[in-house]
Structure 1
Amino acid sequence: MRTGARPYILMLALVLGCNGSRDQLLADLQSPRPEVRALAVKKLAGQGNPDDLILFTRAAKDLASIVRAEAAVALGESQDPRVVDLLGELLEDSDEEVQGRAAMALSKVRNDKAKAYLTLQYGRRGRTTRQVIVQALKNANVPGAMAEVVAAEAKGQWDRNLLTLTEGELPERVGAAEELGKSGRPEAVNRLLPLVRDSQVILAAAAVRGLGDAGDKRAVGDIALLLDESFPELRESAIIALSKLQDPAAALRLQAVAVEKSAVSPLAIDAILSFPRTPETDTALCAVALDGAPSDALAAALAMRTRGGCPLDPIGERLARPATAASGLQAVAGLGPVAQPLLAKVTPWLNQNDATLRMLAVDAVAAVGDAAVVPQLQKLYEQEAKGLEALRSDWVTQKLPETYGAGFDPSATTSPHVAASPHDERASRHASLFERVKALNAQRAKDAGRTVVKPRVPSELFDDVEAERLVPLATLIRALGTLRAPGALELLKGYSQDSSIPLRTAALVGLTRLGAEGVAVAREGIFEPERDLQKTLAQALAESGEAGQVALLEALPKMGGEKLLVLDALAKGPGVPASASAVLQGVVKEGGPEAALAAVVLARIQAKDAVPTLIKALDETNSVARRDVLLALGTLGDVQAADVVARDLFHDLPEIRAAAATALKRMGATTHSEFLDALKSDYFRTVRDAAGAALAKGGTASEGAR
């Protein structure tokens, strides 16, 4: 029953009296007010008259959910076997309260048909109703109630997917292949392995993805062979599957894909990075750092920077020859300080005529971080700036106005005018409506304390200079900031307002390396309208240390949809101040996808004070951050959250059930072992594994219950 209706029904009960006349109650069943009809059903049920069963049957079809809920209770109290089918229908009602009342009513009938309805509907209902169904079966004295319905749900899913794989249409078979793989059963692997060579590429790719989810390393060899195929979808599925199977033996084959500079090369690198660290994976990453595409090589080298670096002799050999110098320089740029012994072989390339090699050398020496090269970089900067001086000279000598003239401001409200035609009148109405929407959005942002990002007003006009032509200058500006060159702060401040996005981005990133004063200037750039600039700057601020991280945290409440960029940078950065808890909790309270990243960071900084906020976030039924919130609660380890987390062991989504089980293990909770033991029969391998791991620490289910 809706909680809001209960006080009203109780008030009506007092008005009508505890023993309201039967005639009045019958009349109330025809009332236009649903709360009056619901109260009449409840009072008639209390009278226990068998002849009223027909009245409750009619009430079960009422348009109001509170009436149907009371009808379900009344039908259950009758314990008449004839009402089982009707209660089964109410168990499928669109209202969860009606579903729950129908489930408890079926538990009072206590026959096999009622039990069958409860068992069948467990796999079709949401979390709340699933909990009630288990409780209803317990009330009906069904032993191992949850284990029985979980096993029945798993059997139904297996039979359905198996039938679809063999008899369904092609799109249905594709979905069934993936779902069978998620079961992780040996039989699923046996059925999917022959399909990896199916003539239908989409079915073969689905089988490969299913084998990846199955987690059976018997499939590694067959899947690895598919990396030689020419179908991009099949190769992509194979890489994803190998990443999930976590077998370092596939590193060599993935290395070949990673260095081929194709569309799937980044996926191959991600797969190698996901493997447990072994000499084979390190060798593969070092090979990619030398021979991969520039962005792929940088990603591999950065990964090896944290692992102690790569062998330097092969890189030095590349640096000795012009034909291979580019690959050597990009490897040094990724490895950074660990490549310090190669600095003497890198600096000669700063004087090359080839602009590409020269800029790669600038990136490399900046990454190494040796200030000895600053004089050379300053000289290069002066040459580059002088070469662009003529191209960027002002052709409008006077200062440009920074406000729009009358009638030209696109954000100003147009003055009312008499439309010259019906078309003009419609255009005027649409413009007026659009202006009102903009004004309302601006007011909402202001009320919420968010900064409204506005387009930059050009302060100067330059002759057209392509962005690519400015990249060398931007590279030098960023390098001077990175190496903290003398005078770099004032120089980069000047470029921080430049009209060129590459130069402005480079200056802002360089400023983040110049201490608190530089960060104070750079932080304003986070409100720039250019999304790529925002992303690059957010990453630089997160990596610059506590001052940059605090700047990002202070900007968060003022941002709208750009919060994701900042939170992603903080999540991937080297650290987050403990003071971030309050701001991040505010993001969690707002909900949305941003709450997921905020929960991840809260867990990372062990913000124990965030536990109540995270618990409250679980009240939102359809939260996209639910999985991350559960895992965060587990990481924070507060056992007081165990009961709330355990509710999601009944969730209809397997990833949520698995996250709840994992969270319970992390917090060391041992009071929900009956439910965890039941999930060991779940259809999905990830849920079974998580439940088994959660039980392993506390021993058997019975031991955990004690």
Structure 2
Amino acid sequence: KSRESVPHLLSLLAAGDDELLAETVGALGAIGDDTVVVEVIGVLRSAGDLAVQRAAIEALGTLGSREAVPPLIEVLALNREELKIPIARSLGGLGSQDALAALEGLLTDADGEVRRIAVAGIGAVQDPSALPRLERLVHDPDEAVRRETAAALGTLGSDEGVPLLIQLLQDADENVCAQAMQSLEQIGTESVRSLVEMLSSEDEKLVTRVVRVLGRIGDMRTINPLLKLMEKSDIRLREEIADALVQTDSRLWADDDLRWEMKESYAWLRLSIARSLGRMKHVRALDLLFKLIEETYAEGDEDRLRAAPDSLQLVIRESLSCLQRAAAEMMGELDLPDTVKAALEHLSSGPYPAVRRWLVYSLGFLKREASATALVELLKRDDMEEEVENIGEALKRLSSRTVVEKLLAAIGATTGTARRRVVVTIGIQQDGRCVSRLGDLLKDPDEGVRFASVVALSRIGIREVFDVLTNATKDVSEKVRKRAVEVLARMPDERSLNVLGSALHDRATEVRVAAARALGSLESVRTVPVLVAGLRDTSSQVRESIVNTLGKLGSKKAVDPLIQMLRDTNPQVRQASVRALGRIGDVKAVVPLLEAMDDPDLWVKTQAFQTLRDMGETAVASLVDALAHANPAIQASAIKLLSRAAAPTVVPALLDATAHRARAMRANTATVLGNLRERGAVVPLIGLLDDRDYEVREKAAMALGNIGDVSAMVALRNAQKDQNRDVRVAALGAMQQIRELNEMA
């Protein structure tokens, strides 16, 4: 491997012995002197022996000069199977973007090892633009290729590769999964958001692997999701989560930049002390827990956080919030005397909103009658307006039968806002015993109370609430009526039809719109006539909603009314009608939709074109018939669609139409066949050159020109003698077009 031997080795390149030449090139590569690259390239290009070529390819990869990329690509283009692997390996080793296209070309090779090495090479280039090429390899039949794909995605380091790596986490091969985990760890914090979303998966193995990766990454954002997952996991998964949390904690505490920023970093130790004291029923435990809640993230801390680097702000907030949660839950776990009384005292001191939230949260873990009473009393306080949902959830966690009784008793609060807060909380409990009382509250003089009662009834969601909600659809308040209609939409019931039908004629536009949408949830045969009757509404917004609902229902009874709506004065209604007819898919709508392609509104005509294309096979026969329609605009639209159709029945139908008795049908059919460049139509089109109608003959000549088949030349030459000038010109142009097309071919 001495560089001093390079001149002697170069002299041996002129030897005629292929075996010696291969060994010499290999030796030059092993020495690693990139000054010999040109000579090795020369050997590669001139060698005829496979072993010599292989040695030159490997040497160029070892020498590492990007000058080697073009000659390597040249040899690769020869498509010699024996050389693909060494070429792929060398191109990848060079790490040049110039090699990327060649490596991507090998991703579809039949040899799994070639694909694997190509993937490794793409990873080595480290160009994120290559990531889409790796997507299909996630499902490659060769596990080695899939494993290499996982490794390459990690090397590329782009967060766009995270979804692919998550797919590979579910691979049947453990080695592939292990590599995917390693690559996700390599990408790091950019993969956290997507990984956290996977924690809700039903695949236990996937969740376990995700938990392990999150632990290795060690991002603060994973702590709360992992804690939440731990609550509903079995023993084995809880152990995995615990390990991940320990790893995360270790990584964070090893980061010097975080230590000084952590608010009250000793608070975790304080939490441990509080737990120990609580087990001893020591009163100081409660003091410590309140301090943890109130001092960990207090008023003024937000200003301090803004002074921290952006990368740290989220970390700090999550950490402090996690600590407050733990302290609040521990209050219930320890169940110390006077906890409820102390919590109320702290709430009375007007704490910072974030602190108030956690104090309310803690009351939901105290399984005491006094806790339920305290939470209900809090609803009477105006300063608890923002905490109503939290209070409701806290009461629900108590799981006490007396909670509902206390809430019903509290409805007698004097102010409307207080009654509304109580009603909202009743809804959160989802207790059917409250239906009758909520029904009475629909007559409350306060609009907010009536609205909250409707919402509460919707949360309860039992059949008994139907009659009560029916009354709410007649409320004097538009807001209440609309909400009642929206709730009925989520409770499909045959009885709802008359109620929603009446709401479709409500004096308020928003209510009528809500009713139109709600009727879409019913499966009654009587729904369509009710909706159709509303199409005469003066509001375009209502008409559009009705049209959308008719499309959703998909009933063919709605086709004729929807066709009429294609002439609506409002373009949005017309566009919605086009969409609705497309969803129903009745061929009766084809011609009206063709007419809509000539609509003055761009959105309508575009929607009509797309809708007819989406109808596919269903529309073919009607589109062909439309070629003979009396309206030239409809003919033109049919030509446009059929000329872009991909359905297999299009061409046979068009060929049959060449013998149609209608002149327009024959002429337009010829045009479409020409646009499709259908060579199977050449003979029928030649026949049309003798048609009795000059326009048909002209269109046939033009179509033959578009198809470009030389077998039509004789017939076109004869057509130049046609008595009609337009036919002669078309025939001449077609012959010229055929010559040009065949010259290009």
**Between Structure 1 and Structure 2, whose CA radius of gyration is higher?**
2
After TM superposition, is the score higher than 0.5?
A: no
Q: TM-score range by the shorter chain?
A: 0.3 to 0.5
TM-score (normalised: structure 2): 0.36
Structure with the higher fraction of residues in helix conformation: 2
TM-score (normalised: structure 1): 0.38
> RCO (CA 8 Å, sep 6+): is it higher in 1 or 2?
1
